[in-house]
């Protein structure tokens, strides 16, 4: 156990006591938390980034590990920005064992991309072999500490967070960010997610973390502020689910455009009309014409707001 005086320690002190390194990644990739020394069980990484960033993820881990092999890969949930590097890491370290949250068990053995939602979001992915499961209520040894596995449905029905009770550190995945609220995906396909997300925030509040290592953005310590911002946003979405669908559409279209770098405007609009989670945005019973108009308006709004630029019929991210 660590002798670090926890109350006064900085995030860097806490990470040192945990034997952890946080790699804060840019767009498309989720952060990675690496435990280079994990005793007998070997080095472990939590989340593996986006598929097209596989080489970058590999370089980061190889640099930090030196001669040590990566022995374990864990995913907080199976979204393409959190598990996209799994296949590349397993190719590089074929003896590494991959664990995903238990809720995905029926969908990864045998592999079912439809049920995993990759098709619904039309996100790129590379299938990977799963060797074990993270069961809520159990613990997993990472570095010198045992981390508790907690279920946090909402953003994704099967997502988990990892909590280390000595330093009170939380690896939150997409269940809690410092500034924004992640999309509540089940709601986009007519399933329940808002209440689950509320309960996930309540759970995190009860765990009372001192330090959060989120799936996106820097580590943060003002957990109360992050919780209340998330709850305000969630309340607003629950009061006006259309706004949540608009927010999700914007985020997913932006994500797709970043992954593709540039696209003919027509092709981006067509993609919106063909992507299951977006097709429902203008309403469950919208006609093909409504969906087409919604796609055109979405792209028009992104251009008007300066998020996206168009040149000669081709759109790309601004800046």
- DSSP bridge pairs for 213: 171
How far apart are the C-alpha atoms of 146 and 148, rounded to whole Å? 7
C-alpha torsion 68→72→73→77, nearest 10: -150
CA distance from start to end of the chain:
47
Report the residue number, 96 or 252, with the smaller CB distance to Zn ion: 252
CB of 122 to Zn ion, least distance (A): 15
DSSP letters along 39-100, please? GGG-EEEE----GGGHHHHHHHHHHHHTTPPEEEEE-SS--HHHHTTHHHHHHHSTT-EEEE
Report the residue number, 15 or 83, with the smaller CB distance to Zn ion: 83
How far apart are the C-alpha atoms of 161 and 140, rounded to whole Å? 11
CB of 67 to Zn ion, least distance (A): 33
CB of 200 to Zn ion, least distance (A): 13
CB of 136 to Zn ion, least distance (A): 17
Q: Is 216 in the site for Zn ion (CB under 5 A)?
A: no
Binding mask 101-130 for Zn ion (x = CB under 5 A): ------------------------------
* 110 cis-preceded (ω within 30 degrees of 0): yes
CB of 155 to Zn ion, least distance (A): 6
Report the residue number, 174 or 178, with the smaller CB distance to Zn ion: 174
CB of 8 to Zn ion, least distance (A): 33
- DSSP bridge pairs for 162: 149, 171
Binding span for Zn ion by CB under 5 A among 96-104, 171-179, 222-230, 255-263: 171-179
CB of 189 to Zn ion, least distance (A): 15
Report the residue number, 50 or 220, with the smaller CB distance to Zn ion: 50
CB of 5 to Zn ion, least distance (A): 34
Report the residue number, 244 or 265, with the smaller CB distance to Zn ion: 244
CB 122 within 8 A of CB 256: yes
- Determine the length of the chain: 319
CB 96 within 8 A of CB 70: yes
Report the residue number, 255 or 294, with the smaller CB distance to Zn ion: 255
Report the residue number, 77 or 145, with the smaller CB distance to Zn ion: 77
CA 241 to chain centroid: 21
Report the residue number, 78 or 291, with the smaller CB distance to Zn ion: 78
How far apart are the C-alpha atoms of 200 and 119, rounded to whole Å? 26
CB of 206 to Zn ion, least distance (A): 22
Binding mask 67-86 for Zn ion (x = CB under 5 A): ------------x-------
Binding mask 8-47 for Zn ion (x = CB under 5 A): ----------------------------------------
Alpha helices in 261-287 (DSSP H): 265-274, 276-279
Q: Could you tell me the CA-to-CA distances from 8 to 4, 71, 109, 171, 226 in Å, in that order?
A: 9, 33, 45, 20, 20
Report the residue number, 90 or 175, with the smaller CB distance to Zn ion: 175
Size of the site for Zn ion (CB under 5 A): 2
Question: Cβ neighbours of residue 187 under 8 Å, at least 6 residues apart?
Answer: 193, 194, 237, 241, 244, 245
Q: Which residue is closest to Zn ion by CB?
A: 79
Q: Is 174 in the site for Zn ion (CB under 5 A)?
A: yes
Q: Which residues are at the interface with Zn ion (CB under 5 A)?
A: 79, 174
């Amino acid at each position: 156990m660590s002798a670090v005086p926890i109350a006064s320690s900085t995030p860097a002190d806490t990470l040192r006591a945990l034997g952890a390194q946080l790699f804060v990644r840019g767009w498309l990739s989720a952060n990675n938390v690496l435990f280079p020394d994990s005793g007998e069980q070997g080095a472990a990484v939590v989340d593996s980034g986006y598929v097209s960033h596989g080489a970058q993820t590999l370089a980061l881990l190889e640099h930090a590990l030196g001669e040590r092999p990566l022995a374990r890969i864990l995913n907080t949930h199976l979204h393409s920005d959190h598990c996209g590097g799994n296949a590349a890491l397993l190719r590089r370290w074929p003896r590494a064992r991959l664990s995903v949250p238990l809720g995905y068990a029926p969908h990864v053995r045998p592999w079912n991309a439809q049920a995993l939602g990759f098709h619904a979001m039309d996100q790129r992915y590379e299938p990977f072999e799963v060797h074990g499961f993270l069961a809520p209520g159990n613990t997993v040894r990472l570095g010198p500490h045992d981390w508790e596995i907690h279920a946090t449905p909402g953003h994704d029905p099967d997502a988990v967070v990892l909590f280390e009770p000595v330093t009170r550190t939380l690896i939150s995945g997409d269940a809690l960010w410092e500034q924004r609220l992640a999309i509540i995906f089940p709601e986009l396909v007519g399933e329940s997610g808002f209440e689950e997300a509320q309960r996930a925030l309540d759970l995190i509040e009860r765990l009372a973390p001192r330090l959060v290592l989120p799936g996106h953005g820097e580590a943060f310590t003002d957990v109360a502020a992050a919780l209340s911002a998330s709850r305000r946003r969630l309340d607003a979405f629950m009061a006006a689910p259309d706004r949540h669908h608009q927010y999700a559409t914007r985020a997913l279209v932006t994500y797709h455009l970043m992954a593709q770098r540039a696209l003919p405007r027509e092709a981006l609009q067509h993609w919106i009309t063909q992507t299951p989670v977006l097709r429902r945005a203008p309403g469950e019973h919208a006609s093909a014409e409504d969906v087409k108009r919604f796609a055109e308006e979405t792209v028009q709004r992104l251009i008007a707001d300066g998020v996206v630029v168009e040149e000669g019929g081709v759109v790309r991210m601004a800046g």
